[in-house]
Chain A
C-alpha cells in the first residue's frame, strides 16, 4: 500500500515532466565526423550528373532564373533547387543535420560566412583546391578571407555586404572621416535636438557586428589569424571605449541599446538621428518609404575609423561544396558559374546583392542603378570578416555579453575586454 501510494505520484510526475521536456530534451543526433582531408574529400572528384543546390528562402527571385539558365545549357547536369526557410538559425541547423547524415543530395550550398570555419573544421566542406580549385582572381580580398580556414579555401565568395554610414546631408556638409570627427559633429545633433549616432546595440548578432567594427577600426582584433583569442589589447580597449563613452555622453541615444537594424532605420527615417550605421538595404527604403522624412536629404559615406575609413564587419554568403557530393566536377562548374561576372551582375541588378568582384563596383550601369556601390566598395575593401573560428557561436556570445555589459556601464571596458578574452579562450579549450 505504502509503495503504491508513493509510486503513483512518482509515475504521474514522471510522465508529466517527460512529456513536457521531451521537446527540449531531444538534443539532436550524436557524434561528429573527423578527418576530412582524406576519405570523403578524395571521392567523386570527377563525378558529373544532376546536383542539388541548397539555399535559404529566395526572396527576390534570383536563384530560379539562374538555375533555369544553367539547366538549359547543361541538360545532363541539371541543378535542383532546395529552398530552406528564411531564418538563418534554421538554415544552419538544417545544414548541420544533413551533413551529419552524410546526405549526398546536399551537393552545393549557400553558407553564411560565419559558418564556414565551423563546417570546414567538422570536415564537411570540400577544400577548393587541385581538381576542385576555384579562381579567386578579381574578388574582394576580405570576401576571400571569409571563405578561408587554416589557409585553405573551403568556399567561394557568393555575395557580400558591408556597413555604410548614413548621414543627414542637410545638417552635415562633409561626412566625418574618423570617429573623433564624428563625435565632434554631435553638437550639430544637439542643436537640432536629435540623436547623434546609432548602430545596432541590442544584445544579438548585430552587437557583435558593431563591437567588432569598433575594435577592428581602432586596430584591435578579436581572434588572430590562427583563430586564437587576441582581443586583450590596448587597441581593442580603445575601440570599445569609443562606443562606451559615446553611449555614456548621450552621443548614442539611450534607446539605441534596444535597436536592431529595423528600429535604427526607422529612427533615421523619422529624422531622429544625425548618423546611422546600417547595411545597404536601407538605401532603397529610406528613398522610397512614405514615412521617410529624409528622402532627399540623407547621404552615404564609409564608416569612420581611427585615421581614415573604418573596418566594417563583413556580411554575405559563400557557396560551398559538400564532401559527400557524388558529382563534384559538376558542382565545381556550378560554383564557377555562380561567381562569374554575368551572374554577379544579375545578383546586383535583380537581388540588390553586393557583388564579390571588384570591378563591378566601378561599373557605370550598376552604379546608376545602385548608387551606394562606390561607398560600399570602400566599406568592403576595408572590411574585416567576423572572427573566423569554428567556435563562432561561443565567440559571438562572448563578444555580445561583455560588450553589452560595458555599454550599460555594468563593468569597465578593461574588465569587459579581459572577460571577452577569457570566454573566447575557454570556448576553444574544449
Chain B
C-alpha cells in the first residue's frame, strides 16, 4: 500500500511537468479508490440518518392507513394504497362513508392542504423579503467601523440565540388580548383570534427572530469586498448610490443568495411559531403543522404529505441553485479563492 502511495506523491512533487499517460491513469485509479474508502464512513452515516428515513417515508406513503373493522371494532392493516394517499392531499379527496371518494369536508385535514400550501408560501415570501431588506440594512451598519461595534454585533444575535419555542411563547404573551401590544397601542385587536392579525403576528415574530441570521451572513459577504475597490470608485467619482448598486450588490450577491436560500428553505418548513402562537387557527396552518397533526391520525397518509413537502422544498431549492445562482458550494470555494 505504501509503495503505491508514494508514486502519486512523487508525481505531485514533480510539479507542473506533464506526468506520463500511464502514471496519470494509475494516480487517478488509486486516488479514486482511496478517496472512496475515506468517504465511506460519512456516506454510510448520511445513508442511515437521511436517506433511510426519507426512503422509508416514501415506501410508507404507498400503504393505506389501518382502518377499523366494523365487525370486531379493531383496526386492521390497510394494505397497498397506490397513489391514493397522494390524491387524498393533492385533489383533496376523502374516502366517503359508503366507499368511493368525496371532496374532503371542512374540518378534515385533507380539506386544508392547498390552503396550508398557500399559507406556507405566503409566509415564506413575506418573511424572507422583510428579512432580506432589514438584514441588509443591519449588515451595512455593522460593517462600519465605530465604537462598540462588537457589542452591537453580539446584541443583534440575541433574538437568533433564543430557542424558537421560547420566542413563540414570548410573542404569544405580547399578542394576547390583554398583552403588551394592545396596551402599548391602545388597540383592541384580537391578534391571535382573527385571520390577518394572526398572520402578521407570526410574520413579525419570525422577522424579529431570523433577521440577525440574515444580517450576519450578509455581513460576512460584505467584509469580503476589499476596501480598494471602494477607494477606486470614489476616485472615479462614483456616488454613494452608484457604489452600492455597482459594487456592493454584485460583490455581495453570492453570499446574499446563499442567505436567502437558507432562509427560504427554513421558512418553508416553519412549524414552531404558528404551532405555539395560534395552533394553526385563522389561516396560519403551514405544511409542517399539517404533517404533525396528520401523524396522530395515520402515519401513512402523513408520510405521503411529508414526501410532498419534501418534493416542494427540493424543487424550490433546485430552482434557487440552478437558475438563481445560489450555490452554497461555489460560494464557499470562491470566497476561499478571493483571499
A17 at the B interface (CB under 8 A): yes
A121, A202, A254, A423: the one contacting B75 at CB < 8 Å is A121
CB of B196, distance to nearest CB on chain A (Å): 13
Is A27 a contact partner of B73 (Cβ separation < 8 A)? no
Q: In whole angstroms, how far apart are the Cα atoms of A30 and B313 in the complex? A: 24
Residues in B whose Cβ lies below 8 Å from that of A255: 177-178, 188, 190, 193
B322 at the A interface (CB under 8 A): yes
Interface segment among A33-41, A179-187, A304-312, A345-353: the answer is A33-41
Interface segment among A57-65, A293-301, A397-405: the answer is A397-405
When A20-B269, A401-B107, A426-B96 are in contact, do A30 and B314 touch as well, CB less than 8 Å? no
Interface segment among A133-141, A157-165, A237-245, A386-394: the answer is A386-394
A428 at the B interface (CB under 8 A): yes
Is A402 a contact partner of B106 (Cβ separation < 8 A)? yes
A10 at the B interface (CB under 8 A): yes
Is A27 a contact partner of B303 (Cβ separation < 8 A)? yes
Residues in B whose Cβ lies below 8 Å from that of A408: 194
Is B97 a contact partner of A425 (Cβ separation < 8 A)? yes
When A202-B281, A423-B106, A426-B95 are in contact, do A27 and B60 touch as well, CB less than 8 Å? yes
CB of B12, distance to nearest CB on chain A (Å): 24
Q: In whole angstroms, how far apart are the Cα atoms of A228 and B153 in the complex? A: 60
CB of B110, distance to nearest CB on chain A (Å): 8
Residues in B whose Cβ lies below 8 Å from that of A149: 73
Is A25 a contact partner of B49 (Cβ separation < 8 A)? no
Interface segment among B32-40, B63-71, B203-211: the answer is B63-71
Residues in A whose Cβ lies below 8 Å from that of B56: 27
CB of B9, distance to nearest CB on chain A (Å): 28
Is B68 a contact partner of A428 (Cβ separation < 8 A)? yes
A367 at the B interface (CB under 8 A): no
B50, B75, B188, B318: the one contacting A22 at CB < 8 Å is B50
Contact residues, A1-52 vs B (CB, 8 A): 6, 8-10, 12-14, 16-22, 24-32, 34-37
When A13-B320, A18-B50, A263-B176 are in contact, do A34 and B107 touch as well, CB less than 8 Å? no
Interface segment among B137-145, B216-224, B242-250, B293-301: the answer is B293-301
Residues in B whose Cβ lies below 8 Å from that of A17: 265, 310, 313-314, 317
Is B76 a contact partner of A34 (Cβ separation < 8 A)? yes
Interface centre among B63, B94, B106, B282 (most CB of A within 10 A): B106
Residues in B whose Cβ lies below 8 Å from that of A121: 68, 73-75
Is A34 a contact partner of B193 (Cβ separation < 8 A)? no
B53 at the A interface (CB under 8 A): yes
Q: How many residues of A contact B (CB 8 A)?
A: 69
A85 at the B interface (CB under 8 A): no
Residues in A whose Cβ lies below 8 Å from that of B78: 430
Residues in A whose Cβ lies below 8 Å from that of B94: 426, 429
Residues in B whose Cβ lies below 8 Å from that of A35: 74
Residues in A whose Cβ lies below 8 Å from that of B54: 18, 21-22, 25
Residue of A nearest to B287 (CB): A24
Residues in B whose Cβ lies below 8 Å from that of A430: 64-65, 67-68, 78, 95, 298
B266 at the A interface (CB under 8 A): yes
Where chain B touches its partner, the secondary structure class is mixed
Is A419 a contact partner of B105 (Cβ separation < 8 A)? yes
Is A123 a contact partner of B75 (Cβ separation < 8 A)? yes
Is B314 a contact partner of A13 (Cβ separation < 8 A)? yes
Contact residues, B57-93 vs A (CB, 8 A): 57, 60, 63-69, 72-78
Residues in B whose Cβ lies below 8 Å from that of A398: 105, 107-108
Q: In whole angstroms, how far apart are the Cα atoms of A92 and B95 in the complex? A: 26
Q: In whole angstroms, how far apart are the Cα atoms of A89 and B292 in the complex? A: 11
CB of B306, distance to nearest CB on chain A (Å): 4
B251 at the A interface (CB under 8 A): no
Residues in B whose Cβ lies below 8 Å from that of A150: 73
Q: In whole angstroms, how far apart are the Cα atoms of A6 and B104 in the complex? A: 39
Q: In whole angstroms, how far apart are the Cα atoms of A267 and B280 in the complex? A: 24
Interface centre among B69, B192, B296 (most CB of A within 10 A): B296
A84 at the B interface (CB under 8 A): no
Interface centre among B69, B95, B188, B268 (most CB of A within 10 A): B95
Residue of A nearest to B319 (CB): A13
Residues in A whose Cβ lies below 8 Å from that of B271: 24
CB of A381, distance to nearest CB on chain B (Å): 28
A66 at the B interface (CB under 8 A): no
CB of B49, distance to nearest CB on chain A (Å): 7
A282 at the B interface (CB under 8 A): no
B102, B106, B178, B192: the one contacting A401 at CB < 8 Å is B106
A358 at the B interface (CB under 8 A): no
Is A394 a contact partner of B328 (Cβ separation < 8 A)? no
A76 at the B interface (CB under 8 A): no
A291 at the B interface (CB under 8 A): no
Is B68 a contact partner of A21 (Cβ separation < 8 A)? no
Residues in A whose Cβ lies below 8 Å from that of B302: 27-28
Is B329 a contact partner of A22 (Cβ separation < 8 A)? no
Q: In whole angstroms, how far apart are the Cα atoms of A121 and B73 in the complex? A: 6
Q: In whole angstroms, how far apart are the Cα atoms of A359 and B73 in the complex? A: 34
CB of A175, distance to nearest CB on chain B (Å): 26
Residue of B nearest to A260 (CB): B279
B233 at the A interface (CB under 8 A): no
Residue of B nearest to A270 (CB): B178
Residue of A nearest to B182 (CB): A255
Residues in A whose Cβ lies below 8 Å from that of B194: 408
A266 at the B interface (CB under 8 A): yes
A21, A37, A92, A426: the one contacting B313 at CB < 8 Å is A21
A257 at the B interface (CB under 8 A): yes
B288 at the A interface (CB under 8 A): yes
Q: In whole angstroms, how far apart are the Cα atoms of A161 and B293 in the complex? A: 26
Is B328 a contact partner of A390 (Cβ separation < 8 A)? no
Mask, B182-200, CB within 8 Å of A = 1, is: 0000001011111000000
In the A-B complex, list the 3 residue pairs whose CB atoms are closest, starting with the nearest: A423-B107, A422-B105, A13-B317
Instruction: List 29 A–B pairs whose Cβ atoms lie within 8 Å, in order of A's numbering.
Output: A10-B322, A12-B327, A13-B318, A16-B317, A16-B328, A17-B310, A20-B313, A21-B313, A24-B309, A27-B53, A27-B299, A28-B302, A32-B76, A34-B66, A34-B75, A34-B76, A37-B72, A149-B73, A202-B281, A203-B278, A258-B192, A263-B176, A400-B107, A401-B107, A411-B106, A426-B104, A429-B94, A430-B68, A430-B78
